[in-house]
Amino acid sequence: MTPETYDYVIAGAGSAGCVLANRLGEDPSLRILVLEAGGSERAVIVDMPAALSIPMNTRRFNWGMRTEPEPGLDGREVNLPRGKGLGGSSSINGMCWVRGNPMDYELWEALGADGWRWSNVLPYFQRLENVEGGGALRGTSGPVHVNRGLQRNPLYDVFVEAGVEAGYARSRNMNEVQHEGFGPMEMNIGDGRRMSAARAYLRPAMARGNVHVVTGAMVDRVLFDGRRATGISYLVNGETRQARARREVIVSAGSIMSPMILKRSGIGPAAELRSHGIPVIQDLAGVGENLMDHLELYIQMECTRPVTLFPTQSLWGKAKIGMEWLATRKGLGATNHFESGGHIRSRAGIVYPDIQYHFLPLAISYDGKSLASGHGFQVHVGTKRSKSRGWVRLRDARPDSLPRVRFNYMSHPDDWLEFRACIRLTREIFAQPAFAPYRGRELAPGTEAQDDAALDAFLKRKVESAYHPCGTCRMGNDDAAVTTPDGRVRGVDGLRVVDSSLMPQATAGDLNAPTLVLAERMADLIRGRHLAEAEGASLLADPHWATRQRGAAITRNYAHDRATLKAALLANARGERVPDDGLLTF
């Protein structure tokens, strides 16, 4: 077959690929091809927010990967759902809308991603958001609808009040000025339906006529003429096809699959490529390395009052929710049920939150496979900046072979320190007066788990991925980085990577919103432009973070003291706490 020619060829219709197709396709003179291994995302179980655990466990929408045996978890293999189909993981995730802390992006820049500081990123959040009710520093006309749950269950407010009683800050909205503290959560849901990247970006782009999407297209490799990327070779129903790119090839297959495509194309660690018979075009040792994730635990409590979602988990309860949602797009089917949460610091000496809470008025596992026998409530709690690093490697050179993935979970000693803090700090919150009318016995870990050894044993058995892998094609300005800060792959021309694999550090929260904003800004950089830097982009912290673990006043603004902030952030990234008499004094 004669290869078709496009201006841009994009590998992957996940969150980033959908954004790129839409934004690059705003120029009607351009022809854009998007290749996606999965199929259509259109299904009731994808659209209905409360049904989120169903597509996550369906082979039509999930690649069905598991990790290699994890040494830090006694050899346990961990479930690793990855989206398959239009919208990628945005079509199967929990829809928690979390921008992250503004200091996340300051840390990106400090780690070498020049231009990615908060004041440069904020305008792109404003461009992409359509926030119900608006708010300070929010967008109200973008493609991604964002709203809050109705918070009809009393336990949502109880959780926030308990956090305040424990001495933490209250945040009116953790996506606005103040990230640290306890408050309502937001979700990317519009008109009662999941607002996936396919719905928000790709479908409108396809309707314009200059964006062509091929589903069932398994990308094999990038094609080169010398050292310039010229297209992509892919398979459809076992038939090899090629597509040529006049301008650029963009790999947006996600943090697990993007490094695989680069490696099959001859870009990656030379020894690994040669071991699979792949000719080396560019020896880049970092491809597939630096793999990060968020882990989390469920801390579960019995509820002494019948106010939880437990009755809705019966067959009849689920049927009622489904029928109401199908008829009205409202009710309990129109929420992800994560309607309040929090962001706190694990200990003194940490600049900004490294622990996240999602509260749920039900005791159940994230994938819906394990339900408590009665009324209960829980938090999903986990650390956000683990220093453990893993890898993604080839199983063989076949495009249809799933990769080998090992996160090396809990391989850094700080992970154990921080996760023990997760459990103990959560217990303290649940012990506050606000929970007294509802608090029963502790279901998990259980009151018998008190010392470090017992908590560590529970962690090894029960810690799970929060499904936020990133970092495997890190952007930066050093020779070890895979790409430059504008996504260009080092050592070759005409090739970029744009997705969560670029992140130098996982953000303090769910990764979908940061992935979308990364792709929004990259789309402009590809076009040779960028939005003006935001004014009033504050960088708030507890003024006494160096000496205390919690505080209700999140008031110190580092926006005009970035050099001091950068030093503190890098010290934390190296595993160093900053004492009061050390790097910073107040």
Binding site annotation covers 78?
A: no
Separation in Å, CA 349 to CA 385, 424, 508, 581: 14, 18, 17, 11
Q: Is the separation of the CB atoms in 420 and 34 below 8 Å?
A: no
Report angle CA 78, 79, 83 to the nearest 5 degrees.
145
Q: Is the separation of the CB atoms in 164 and 182 below 8 Å?
A: yes
468 catalytic? Reply is yes
Q: State phi, psi for 362 to the nearest 5 degrees.
A: -165, 150
The CA R_g of the chain, rounded to the nearest whole Å, is 23
Alpha-carbon distance of 522 to 504, in angstroms, equals 15
Q: Is the separation of the CB atoms in 180 and 352 below 8 Å?
A: yes
**230-234 contact pairs (CB < 8 A, 24+):** 230/494, 231/3, 231/9, 232/9, 232/11, 232/35, 234/11, 234/35, 234/399
- Run of H or E residues at 423: helix 413-430
Q: Is the separation of the CB atoms in 502 and 484 below 8 Å?
A: no
Alpha-carbon distance of 16 to 509, in angstroms, equals 18
- Tokens found for residue 329: 């797009």
Catalytic residue among 343, 412, 468, 530: 468
Alpha-carbon distance of 539 to 555, in angstroms, equals 9
- For 252-293, strand residue ranges (E) read 267-268, 282-283
Q: Tokens 């030093």 correspond to what residue?
A: 567
- Tokens found for residue 90: 């945005």
Q: Is the separation of the CB atoms in 215 and 237 below 8 Å?
A: no
Q: Is 236 exposed, middle or buried (0-12, 13-18, 19+ CB in 10 A)?
A: middle
In 3-state terms, what secondary structure has residue 465? Answer: strand
**How far separated are the first and last CA of the chain, in Å rounded?**
69
Separation in Å, CA 91 to CA 38, 209, 469: 12, 23, 16
> Between helices 512-526 and 118-128, what is the axis angle to 10°?
100
Q: What is the 3-state secondary structure (H, E, C) of 179-191?
A: CCEEEECEECEEC
Q: Is 363 exposed, middle or buried (0-12, 13-18, 19+ CB in 10 A)?
A: buried
Binding residues: 219
Binding residues for FAD: 219
Catalytic machinery residues = 468
